Amino acid sequence: MILMKGRIFILMGSKSDLQFAKRIGNFIDGEGFNVEYEYAVSSAHRTPDVLVEKIRRLEEDGNRVVIITVAGLSDALSGAAAGLSTCPVIACPPDIDRYGFAKMFSSVITPTGVPVMLVARPENAALAAVKILALSDPSLQQAVRRYISKKRREVIEADEEVSKK
């Protein structure tokens, strides 16, 4: 069996979400995860036909894909992507700090059969997507373990530094 490469599809509701969304790719690159990712813009409200076509192409290309949606305001994009695709969908709204619970509600309270996961920080959304892809990729599992060990070392070193004072 040939294992298709995993990738992350970062789907934004508008170009204004790009600066926030770039933190996903920056994290992946900065931590050295061997995962492809791409950015795209599509609106569930303004271009639903384009969204359907993008999801159709994702489904046809044979890769293992995790979709991270970055959409402000009502966040119909996350539910629409989840309803159209067999891929896992992680909502990472750029305006969650501003709208709080209302934003969480619009991102993840979806009908049965339309699961959307919510992760508030783009770096954590990237890591969650990498962990999903690592389920079927042993080399990616090792990279995740190295990252976890790195974060553990940072805490231990911080404790040692603070304890010396």
Q: Which domain holds residue 136?
A: 6-163
- Provide the pLDDT for residue 2: 52
| 72 located within any domain | yes
> Which band of pLDDT confidence, cut at 50, 70 and 90, is reported for residue 76?
very high
Report pLDDT for 101. 80
- Asked if the structure places residue 25 within a domain, the reply is yes
pTM of the model: 0.94
Band of the pLDDT at 4, cuts 50, 70, 90? low
> What's the domain count of the chain?
1
Question: Is residue 1 included in any domain, yes or no?
Answer: no
In a domain, 133, yes or no: yes
> Could you tell me if residue 159 is inside a domain?
yes
- The verdict on residue 106 lying in a domain is yes
Q: Find, among 61, 47, 145, 133, the residue nearest to 90 by Cα.
A: 133
Where helices occur in the chain by DSSP H, the ranges are 18-31, 48-60, 76-84, 96-99, 101-108, 122-134, 138-163
What CATH number corresponds to the domain at position 68? 3.40.50.1970
Mean of pLDDT values over 87-93:
97
